[in-house]
Structure 1
């Protein structure tokens, strides 16, 4: 073999051996890398299994993450024609995120300058706050601004040239309750406090219906460093379509105010309480409900409204509120034994002066917010007489052909109960006894009716029972009427003309509607429909017929009698010229009888034979030395109906006669022809007591 070839072979062998060694080393390194990777994967798997959640939270906390609540919009309350009575308006809170503002030096000056320019904030205070709280994420600079007041700032933020360094400011949306007519229907609507909690009226009763569900917006930086937003939209509350008519409500409140202003003096309002209810007798729908105690729905905590309260009412309200607070710390016997000094010392031990002031003010304001039409009870007086007559006719204990001799009163168990005409009315038919409001004749009817029938029909007319109107605070009267076994002859006699038992206004007008509409007792209600935020109907609330109280025949007879009261009897001053009417007056002497305080009333309906609207007016303790005249209530009813009837499309059905021309809202111009329909005689004053132990007439 040639030397050159041998040399070449040796060189090739060396190269092969070198490559072989290198390959072995590379394989070794490769296996080491594989082993390390396997170890790393195993370690990662171990960490994920054992501590994955903990590390995930750490990573998420290091990411930019934000969330905010999207508030729901509380539903509106509108009248029967769609007029908005209560609504929710969006407003904005100005929120400063100091951590963003201080994250870069170039953000501070333009942002503060923009806030001073747009919102007029104090620059020195703002700088001081940012300096002291550089990591603060949420600072409310201003609250409840309308959109118009934040629009300028948003324009600056969105300006690509001048707004790129305005950072750390955002706007938190919320809603505030607005009442376009402020005081209109205040006791009916109620108001809301923080957290969308309804206080009183429809706001309270339908709180859950009006409220919706908050939404949520989540913002975060994902694993790819992209900012993502996820939104769960808020579910807005539903809207209430009420049965009331804003125009009728306004007419009613204006006439009450007119009476009040004419009757009040420097110390007293025109009356302690005035209440009016207008109702559709064929459906139970409340068209208007008002009292003399109106308040601002925009500012219900205004203490100026305490002018409505007498000194006695204020004292009683404060005492009851303080007693409730003391019961949290002391038993009843201890509280009852406290002197005035001990009482005040006990309160001071547990409450600051500011807390006590708030408790006392709230207690008094509750009396103003109270709806007299449903929450107060009283003796109805002679407006109860049509119910007594209807009881006799429908039960068959009266035929309608009876006559009674009124000699000025009845003597029962040694007590003389007078008629309103001390000399007596003489012989009277049933209709005449209603026209003249004769107590003597009604007492004689009660003997024929008897305790069993009288008690049974009281419950048929729903006296002693709640009407379950859709408003909070309806008073219970079950303990304020006599059960059958306690209807002695004297109790039956006084009950027959509306004394010694208690009712509420809503009980009276609802029962009265059944007297005049053919005997149908409809549940009174305030809401006819519920719609969602888009206007779609969620629920139609149809009239609810609860029961039949009397026959159509009895109802027709009662309508005839009630028309006679307006044409020939005590209800002449309620007459609206050109319209046939039915109705009944009432004057109740309150307990204690010796105080000679009176509650007067009128309940009526138009047209007389086919009633389309019913009205009930109560004037409790008119500011007059001569309280005991039902013409106060009649005048208010007449003036309301004069405007309401044409508006309702109820046309005159009689010729104009000029009746009641020159008679004013307070009854001026009236020639009083008879003594008041009051109890002023030797009659026992024991009557059912209210739950608080107060006399039932109070």
Structure 2
């Protein structure tokens, strides 16, 4: 009996000791284990085209984490099995795995691989379970151990280089945007990471607390991927057949400022944006230092249509005529006698037709792209009003398009205070001042749409991660530029420019197309390098779409032909117009008979215009050094 009492007392003492020390023991045990809190990554918001097609998305992937400390805790049982399965599933080198585990033996966290797909992770998990189960049944202690997967996201661009200048890309390391929509709307696209962490509660139990991440918002672009691909296809065909230093195009809705497509010949793969192989040979890259590589990449990523400036040439004649008509300086019935040149400020400034166009009215001056008529019109309007209207049309000011890197052209235009007579004359036909493609497209759209200048933009909607609308980005009417009467006159003149004048190569079968050609000699003058362009609108009298095509320095001997750009416009619009369900139509409310007619171009020479061109570079107006503007040629090439 005494023995029983002794054992009972002993058991009671042990029980009380365990109870009193339980919390201390549990905390001691738990403190010896590692419970690191971890971030739960957010998903960067998707970018969609206007039809809901995903053009940028974030795909969940996994980082493969090795815990050498756990594996080395029982190396004999864990090392061989773990290395064997990793090698089998992922194809990793067994020697490299063993070396990593040995070198990082005191670490509990080694990020061994990134971008592991869900399928790869699942394959490993299944193989691990199968392996460990078989050895458990054989009562062996050998098993796969010390491997886990960490969630992550990687940015994917399903269409590669398509719309690369608009979309931009995100760095996968920190998911920050770089260029394009990715950069401009970065604050909308980023989210907030969640967190998972553990702690001991009052009962000494380990509690897990999870704060879920907040995913980024979705951005819906104005870009139509189908139109974008049409534009890109024809630019690529031009580059492969003829080529140029740069070919670019913008397609936009003139009635709300939405950009439907924007493409250049300088493209890059959004999934591999730092790849230089398309532009530099391995030998060239080997000679580059880090700065040279950064400069090269920056140039590749640069959006020409927004960030580069140039002298626009003859599309500017649209604005010269429109502003003069708005001010009542001209009615459209005036006539101008072009003898092939005009003396201004002591300089002989030539027309595109060296032999002269003869007598033309305003419509014919636009149709035949007469420099002399434009100089006469701008002189009648005067510097003060001419340069006021340049500002009204947006030249010298940023459009505020929602893309990064828009060029500042404020110092690249003249003002009434500093413009000489020759500056005014040459500005009237698009030389001796600079613009960007997006500036000119927005200004032209305002003239042909009835006078409403809309801020160009590439995003139309912000959605939350579930798809609910957060913000509709409405068209922003910035100002009015011209009257409906001026628009009607200009649109009819532009229609005739394509039907009967210099823009015939831009014609699209079955449609009334309006537009203006451009052929501007590049600086330094006399080198034979030209920038040719065409900007057009369809249907001509009630435009629903504007397309601006620019070809900088065509790779041909005779560069000074706007038909290179006009024909590219025609090919693009031949596919785009049916896709957009746009049909040729004439606004019956417009009485075109009220405008001056052109029964035929009165020419002092019987030769056709193309036969009479003589691009002379002998007469050059010197640079006055103001505004950073280069010297200008005496009007050659302004078609």
Relative to the length of structure 2, the TM-score reads 0.85
Higher mean Cα deviation, 513-522 or 56-65?
56-65
Match of 1:196 in 2: 175
Distance 1:483 1:556, change over 3 A: same
Residue 461 in structure 1 maps to residue 386 in structure 2: no
Residue 174 in structure 1 maps to residue 152 in structure 2: yes
Residues 325-347 of structure 1 show CA distances to partners (whole Å, capped at 9, x for unaligned) of: xxxxxxxxxxxxxxxxxxxxxxx
Higher helix share: 1
Match of 1:102 in 2: 72
Aligned partner of 1:130 among 90, 97, 101: 101
Residue 73 in structure 1 maps to residue 5 in structure 2: no
Residue 232 in structure 1 maps to residue 205 in structure 2: no
Q: Which has the larger radius of gyration?
A: 1
Residue 254 in structure 1 maps to residue 233 in structure 2: yes
The structural deviation recorded for 1:57 is 11
Aligned partner of 2:362 among 411, 426, 430: 430
1:328-477 alignment, distance < 5 Å: 357-477=289-409
Match of 1:632 in 2: 564
Residues 377-403 of structure 1 show CA distances to partners (whole Å, capped at 9, x for unaligned) of: 111111100100000000112222211
The structural deviation recorded for 1:62 is 3.5
The structural deviation recorded for 1:152 is 1.8
Note if contact 1:500-1:687 (Cα within 8 Å) is conserved in structure 2.
no
SS in 2 for 1:614: strand
Match of 1:16 in 2: none
The structural deviation recorded for 1:61 is 4.6
Note if contact 2:513-2:538 (Cα within 8 Å) is conserved in structure 1.
yes
Match of 2:637 in 1: none
The structural deviation recorded for 1:166 is 3.1
Residues 3-34 of structure 1 show CA distances to partners (whole Å, capped at 9, x for unaligned) of: xxxxxxxxxxxxxxxxxxxxxxxxxxxxxxxx
Match of 1:293 in 2: 266
Aligned partner of 1:608 among 540, 550, 574: 540
Match of 2:610 in 1: 673
Residue 140 in structure 1 maps to residue 118 in structure 2: no
Note if contact 2:56-2:155 (Cα within 8 Å) is conserved in structure 1.
yes
Unmatched segments (≥5 aa) in structure 2: 1-25, 137-142, 587-607, 634-639
CA distance in structure 1 between the aligned counterparts of 2:609 and 2:303, rounded to whole angstroms:
32
Match of 1:161 in 2: 133
Q: Please give the root-mean-square deviation of Cα atoms over the aligned residues, in Å.
A: 2.8
CA distance in structure 1 between the aligned counterparts of 2:49 and 2:557, rounded to whole angstroms:
39
CA distance in structure 2 between the aligned counterparts of 1:66 and 1:77, rounded to whole angstroms:
34
Note if contact 1:80-1:241 (Cα within 8 Å) is conserved in structure 2.
yes
Distance 1:380 1:688, change over 3 A: farther
The structural deviation recorded for 1:102 is 3.1
1:263-342 alignment, distance < 5 Å: 263=242, 270-306=243-279
Higher mean Cα deviation, 88-97 or 613-622?
88-97
CA distance in structure 2 between the aligned counterparts of 1:694 and 1:303, rounded to whole angstroms:
33
SS in 2 for 1:80: coil
Note if contact 2:525-2:632 (Cα within 8 Å) is conserved in structure 1.
no
Match of 1:120 in 2: 91
CA distance in structure 2 between the aligned counterparts of 1:190 and 1:493, rounded to whole angstroms:
40
Residue 91 in structure 1 maps to residue 61 in structure 2: yes
The structural deviation recorded for 1:675 is 5.3
The structural deviation recorded for 1:458 is 0.3
CA distance in structure 2 between the aligned counterparts of 1:526 and 1:679, rounded to whole angstroms:
42
CA distance in structure 1 between the aligned counterparts of 2:87 and 2:522, rounded to whole angstroms:
64
CA distance in structure 1 between the aligned counterparts of 2:612 and 2:150, rounded to whole angstroms:
66
The structural deviation recorded for 1:515 is 0.3
The structural deviation recorded for 1:163 is 7.8
The structural deviation recorded for 1:538 is 1.4
Distance 1:694 1:551, change over 3 A: closer
The structural deviation recorded for 1:549 is 0.6
SS in 2 for 1:175: strand
CA distance in structure 2 between the aligned counterparts of 1:690 and 1:447, rounded to whole angstroms:
21
CA distance in structure 2 between the aligned counterparts of 1:283 and 1:676, rounded to whole angstroms:
39
Match of 1:43 in 2: none
SS in 2 for 1:142: strand
Note if contact 2:39-2:194 (Cα within 8 Å) is conserved in structure 1.
yes
SS in 1 for 2:509: coil
Relative to the length of structure 1, the TM-score reads 0.78
Note if contact 2:413-2:627 (Cα within 8 Å) is conserved in structure 1.
no
CA distance in structure 1 between the aligned counterparts of 2:227 and 2:417, rounded to whole angstroms:
44
CA distance in structure 1 between the aligned counterparts of 2:43 and 2:614, rounded to whole angstroms:
53
Higher mean Cα deviation, 679-688 or 443-452?
679-688
CA distance in structure 1 between the aligned counterparts of 2:314 and 2:100, rounded to whole angstroms:
70
The structural deviation recorded for 1:113 is 3.2
The structural deviation recorded for 1:145 is 1.2
The structural deviation recorded for 1:142 is 2.0
Note if contact 2:451-2:483 (Cα within 8 Å) is conserved in structure 1.
yes
Residues 576-627 of structure 1 show CA distances to partners (whole Å, capped at 9, x for unaligned) of: 0110011100100111112121101101100011100000011110001100
CA distance in structure 2 between the aligned counterparts of 1:499 and 1:243, rounded to whole angstroms:
32
Unmatched segments (≥5 aa) in structure 1: 1-55, 264-269, 309-313, 319-352, 655-670
Match of 2:623 in 1: 686
Note if contact 1:583-1:605 (Cα within 8 Å) is conserved in structure 2.
yes
Higher mean Cα deviation, 78-87 or 152-161?
152-161
CA distance in structure 2 between the aligned counterparts of 1:472 and 1:82, rounded to whole angstroms:
23
CA distance in structure 1 between the aligned counterparts of 2:366 and 2:446, rounded to whole angstroms:
18
The structural deviation recorded for 1:156 is 3.8
Note if contact 2:454-2:479 (Cα within 8 Å) is conserved in structure 1.
yes
Distance 1:108 1:305, change over 3 A: closer
CA distance in structure 2 between the aligned counterparts of 1:307 and 1:95, rounded to whole angstroms:
37
CA distance in structure 1 between the aligned counterparts of 2:540 and 2:212, rounded to whole angstroms:
55
Residues 119-154 of structure 1 show CA distances to partners (whole Å, capped at 9, x for unaligned) of: 233333333433443331111222211111111221
CA distance in structure 2 between the aligned counterparts of 1:307 and 1:126, rounded to whole angstroms:
36
Note if contact 1:156-1:163 (Cα within 8 Å) is conserved in structure 2.
no
Residue 187 in structure 1 maps to residue 157 in structure 2: no
CA distance in structure 2 between the aligned counterparts of 1:183 and 1:444, rounded to whole angstroms:
47
Match of 1:619 in 2: 551
CA distance in structure 1 between the aligned counterparts of 2:532 and 2:121, rounded to whole angstroms:
55
Aligned residues: 579
SS in 2 for 1:66: coil
Note if contact 1:382-1:586 (Cα within 8 Å) is conserved in structure 2.
yes
Residues 260-284 of structure 1 show CA distances to partners (whole Å, capped at 9, x for unaligned) of: 1111xxxxxx101111000000010
The structural deviation recorded for 1:690 is 7.5
The structural deviation recorded for 1:652 is 3.7
CA distance in structure 1 between the aligned counterparts of 2:614 and 2:150, rounded to whole angstroms:
62
